[in-house]
Each structure stands twice: as structure tokens, then as C-alpha cells.
Structure 1
Amino acid sequence: MEGKEEDVREGANKFPERQPIGTAAQVPDERDYAEPPPAPLFEPSELSSWSFYRAGIAEFMATFLFLYITILTVMGVLKSDTKCKSVGIQGIAWAFGGMIFALVYCTAGISGGHINPAVTFGLFLARKLSLTRAIFYMVMQCLGAICGAGVVKGFENASTFERLNGGANFVNPGYTKGDGLGAEIIGTFLLVYTVFSATDAKRSARDSHVPILAPLPIGFAVFLVHLATIPITGTGINPARSLGAAIIFNKDRGWDDHWIFWVGPFIGAALAALYHQVVIRAIPFKAR
């Protein structure tokens, strides 16, 4: 047995891993990773860069496609007299999660694939992007959401669109506004926490022997949150999605609870950013 163990040890040393597999992999080699500097609060030079505007256009188009597919799916389910004739709640959750997976995959290399003002807000708080870019992204995301919901309305006759509430978010009967706010906070926390974990450069350096496809866990997190909270709020966790549907629907029911779908996601995103930076990464303590 001792000879076999020596052979294994010799073989492992002959072809060493960049990081050892196992518990030792939890301690990264400092040579493999350097903490990136925080993004500046204001970066005026971005305004003269084509890549800045290209990223904003990518966010607009991704959010447009996101609303188009997901709101059509929601309305298709609501139109059916029984859920058995439609994709049901599981199908709605897959539509949201699947579209996020596809769109983050397509746009991550251009804009980072945020497609959500709450995600942008969380990354801004963690100093991953400048305030200039964060505001620009949020504006483009909201415009894309409005256009996507508008196209959906064009496919439905006015009476059907109104009867189905335009796919807008609101707190469902049987739940309080506090329930809705809590669901949005926790749901967005899960989403943004997953975004931080899946895109962490330090983790990529440490686990370089394990390929990580970041859009997959992000899309799956969106899917799971929708399964849990569709019965409560229809699931917002994305202020642009809620705003686009509410503007195109433009009825009192779409606006009564609308504040929940901004306050909840922004609180959840802020908590996720704080948790990741302070607890998971302990960045404030490294500066001491």
C-alpha cells in the first residue's frame, strides 16, 4: 500500500494541478488571482466610447426579448381555461429562467448581461461598474422592457389584454403587501447572490480546473424563484420587467403595488452585495 501511495504522489507531482483538488483548493494561490480595483464612481471617458453605447444597446435588446417571450408565455397560460392545456406555472418559470440563461450567455461579453436594474444596482454597490454605466444600463433596460411589453400588446386584442392584466405584477389575493415585499426581497437576494458567486473572478482562478458556465446557475436561480413566488406576486425580482408591463397595461391594478417591485428588488440586491463583499469575500477586512 505504501508503494502505491508513493506512485500516486509521484504521478500527481509529475503533472501538478494549478490548484490542488479537495479541501486545499479552498485556499487560493495568490499568484493566480489579483483583486481588481473598484470601478470609479464617475468615468466621463466612457461617454466617448462606442463600447459604452454598444453595451447599452445590448441591454436594451436583451430586455426587449426577455419581456417579449416571458409576457407572451404568461398570457398564454392565463388564456387557457385549465392549466393542463398550457405550460402552466412550471412553464412560466422555465420561460423566465431559460430566457435569462440564453440572454446572459449572449450578452455577457458585451455588457455583462445584467438585463435587470436590481442586478445592475447590486454590482454598482460592489463597485463593479461606474455610476455612469449603471444609470445608462437601467434606462436602457426599462426602455427595452416597455418596448417588449408593447409588442406583446400588439399581438393581443384590447379586451383580452386587459382581461389578462397585461402580464403586470401585483400582490395576489390572500397575501399582504408585506408578504409581497418580503418575497421580492428574498427572491432578488437569491438572484443577485448567485450572480456574484457565478461571476466571481477569484472563484474562477481557484477553480480553474472546473469549467463554470455562469449563465446556467443564474438562469436556474430565476427559474426557482419563479416557482416559489409566482403565487404571491407573479414574481418581479426585476424592476424593468414590472415597469414595462405596468406602463403598457396602465390600469390601477398594475400601479397599486408597483412600489413593491422596485423597493423589494433594490433591498434584496443591496443585501446580496453586502453579504458577498463582507461575508463571502471579506473585502473590507483585507484593506486593513
Structure 2
Amino acid sequence: MEGKEEDVRLGANKYSERQPLGTSAQSKDYKEPPPAPLFEPGELQSWSFWRAGIAEFMATFLFLYITVLTVMGVKRSPNMCASVIQGPSWAFGGMIFALVYCTAGISGGHINPAVTFGLLLARKLSLTRAVFYMVMQCLGAICGAGVVKGFQPTPYDVLGGGANKVNHGYSKGDGLGAEIVGTFVLVYTVFSATDAKRSARDSHVPILAPLPIEFAVFLVHLATIPITGTGINPARSLGAAIIYNKERSWNDHWIFWVGPFIGAALAAVYHQIVIRAIPFKSKG
């Protein structure tokens, strides 16, 4: 604990609070970390690699378990119109806050293949780790939704099992657009909240990182639940679709993969090129 307090004290002294606006505010002492290697076979021999995958599995499992139960509970409500958006929005956002806080130090707290994909494009992790995370996230989501159905098989089928679909009155294009923009908001927030440059300058950033991510998830759900039920997480959509396994859960399923991956890619490009201007920084 003493060491951590010393780090915070030194960080506060090293980076003055009164910094000019714009690019000149960036500390000369900060060095951009090197990009992660595309393939890192040595990871497979490391316990931290497997532990991180297990953490992603467990986090996504818990995420699906709580959120699917919440969606089902809201659909049972006699006044569903008043609660359909706020209840699930708080459940999804709150669970992301708790799970990112718990797993960020182990796996990075992705809990979402779209987040992992965006960070892969930004070379924040290797392809080996990204694929492993995505597989574990999907398996965790399937198990989480499966446990809900195991506990409540009849209500699960009657209430839709939390499966995503484009709702009546909206086109597939509307659904795709909502998923692209919603995932962009989420992944852009993840990049900003976990930016190593900000972490170096502001010691409180790593502690507060789950909070803006939670609010991004919450606000995106408020906006897009009426359109698609809000996917923005391919693992979440896949887990519910596999366990529910009705035709209507598969008709629009491609939207909940294509949309989030496009949104994540756009967020990665925007943050790395426009916000951080990494390609334009001098190599010297």
C-alpha cells in the first residue's frame, strides 16, 4: 500500500495540473508502448494467459446470467412500457461496471468480442490472445444463458430468452446502424477510459475506468433497446440465440456480429488516428 501511495504522489508531482490545452499538453516523458506482436506463441505457456481467458469466461457467464434474468423479469412486469428500457439498461451497465472492475487487472475486462476486436486492431493485444478471449467470451455467454434456462425453462421460452432481434417497425438497416453506432460509443469510451497516456498523467484514471464504460453501456441501451434490444456484444447475442434457438432469434443474428465489429473498427481507427494521431508522431 505504501508503494502505491508513493507512485500516486510521484505521478502527481511529475504531471502538473496546469497543462496547456491541445497536443502540447502531452508530457514529453511519456513513451508510447510498442504494439503487441501479432503472434505470441510463448503466451500459451504462461498461466497468466489461461487465467485471463478463464476470467473472461466467468465474467461473460455472470453478465449473461444477470442480464437475461433482468430482461425476463421486465417482460413479466404489468407496466412493461415504463420499465422496459430503464431496468435492463441499469442491469447491463451495472454488471459491466462490476465485472470490468473485477477483471481489468487480470484480462483487461473486455467481456465483449467487439471490444477485443477493437483493441486487436489497435495492436493492444496479440491475435493469439484476442481469439482465445473471443472463444471464452462466447462459451461463457452460452453457459450463462443456459443456466437461466435450466432454472426457468418455461418462462425462458415464453419470454424470449433475452435473444436480440430487430423489433417491429424498424428495418434491418435501422438495426445495423443502431448496432454500429452503439458499439462505436462503447469501444471509443473503452479506448479513452483506458488510454495509457491518460493513465500516466492522471493517477485516478485506472480506478475510474469502469465508470464511464458503465455509463456508455447504460446510455446505449436507453437509445437502442427499442430498435434491437441492444446487442453491441456478439457473445451476448450468440449465447441468448443458441439457448433460445427459435427462428426469430436467428433471422437477424448477422446484424449483431457485423454491426458491433464495424463499430469497433471505426472506434479503433478514430481513436488511434484522429485522437492520438499515432501514425503522425515522430519516430525519433
Whether TM-score is above 0.5 comes out as yes
Give % identity.
Answer: 80
| Residues in 1 aligned to 2:137 and 2:202: alpha-carbon distance in whole angstroms | 32
Q: Does the CA contact (< 8 Å) of 2:120 and 2:130 recur in 1?
A: yes
Q: Does the CA contact (< 8 Å) of 2:142 and 2:239 recur in 1?
A: yes
For 2:166, what is the secondary structure of its paired residue? coil
| Residues in 2 aligned to 1:157 and 1:207: alpha-carbon distance in whole angstroms | 48
For 2:14, what is the secondary structure of its paired residue? coil
Equivalent in 10, 25, 28 of residue 30 of structure 1: 28
Pairwise CA distance, 1:155:
2.0
Q: Does the CA contact (< 8 Å) of 1:166 and 1:249 recur in 2?
A: yes
Q: Does the CA contact (< 8 Å) of 2:194 and 2:205 recur in 1?
A: no
Alpha-carbon spacing, 1:177–1:206, altered in 2? closer, same or farther (3 Å): same
The answer on 1:142 being equivalent to 2:99 is no
| Residues in 1 aligned to 2:191 and 2:53: alpha-carbon distance in whole angstroms | 21
The answer on 1:78 being equivalent to 2:75 is yes
Q: Which runs of 5+ in 1 are unaligned?
A: 1-15
The answer on 1:129 being equivalent to 2:125 is yes
- Which residue of structure 1 lines up, in the alignment, with residue 99 of structure 2? 103
Moved over 6 A (4+): none
Letter in 1 for 2:149: K
For 1:172, what is the secondary structure of its paired residue? coil
The answer on 1:117 being equivalent to 2:143 is no
| Residues in 1 aligned to 2:198 and 2:231: alpha-carbon distance in whole angstroms | 29
Equivalent in 125, 150, 153 of residue 157 of structure 1: 153
For 2:140, what is the secondary structure of its paired residue? helix
Letter in 2 for 1:252: E
Alignment of 1:234-273 (within 5 A): 234-273=229-268
| Residues in 2 aligned to 1:63 and 1:111: alpha-carbon distance in whole angstroms | 12
- Which residue of structure 2 lines up, in the alignment, with residue 57 of structure 1? 54
Q: TM-score, normalised by structure 1?
A: 0.90
> How many residues matched?
270
Letter in 1 for 2:187: V
Which structure has the greater CA radius of gyration?
1
Q: Does the CA contact (< 8 Å) of 1:25 and 1:206 recur in 2?
A: no
Q: Which runs of 5+ in 2 are unaligned?
A: 1-11
- Which residue of structure 2 lines up, in the alignment, with residue 39 of structure 1? 36
Alignment of 1:189-268 (within 5 A): 189-208=184-203, 213-268=208-263
| Residues in 2 aligned to 1:255 and 1:52: alpha-carbon distance in whole angstroms | 33
| Residues in 2 aligned to 1:278 and 1:226: alpha-carbon distance in whole angstroms | 27
Residues 189-229 of structure 1 deviation map (CA, whole Å, 9 limit, x = unaligned): 00000000000010122334777510010011000000000
Q: Which shows bigger deviation, 162-171 or 264-273?
A: 162-171
Q: Which shows bigger deviation, 138-147 or 200-209?
A: 200-209
| Residues in 2 aligned to 1:249 and 1:58: alpha-carbon distance in whole angstroms | 25
Residues 238-279 of structure 1 deviation map (CA, whole Å, 9 limit, x = unaligned): 000000000000010000000000000000000000000000
Equivalent in 167, 176, 201 of residue 181 of structure 1: 176
- Which residue of structure 2 lines up, in the alignment, with residue 168 of structure 1? 163
- Which residue of structure 1 lines up, in the alignment, with residue 5 of structure 2? none
Letter in 1 for 2:255: I
| Residues in 1 aligned to 2:176 and 2:182: alpha-carbon distance in whole angstroms | 10
For 1:30, what is the secondary structure of its paired residue? coil
Q: Does the CA contact (< 8 Å) of 1:18 and 1:208 recur in 2?
A: no
| Residues in 2 aligned to 1:102 and 1:34: alpha-carbon distance in whole angstroms | 31
| Residues in 1 aligned to 2:204 and 2:267: alpha-carbon distance in whole angstroms | 27
Residues 97-150 of structure 1 deviation map (CA, whole Å, 9 limit, x = unaligned): 000000000000000000000000000000000000000000000000000000
Equivalent in 276, 279, 282 of residue 284 of structure 1: 279
Q: Which shows bigger deviation, 211-220 or 121-130?
A: 211-220
| Residues in 2 aligned to 1:181 and 1:154: alpha-carbon distance in whole angstroms | 31
For 1:74, what is the secondary structure of its paired residue? helix
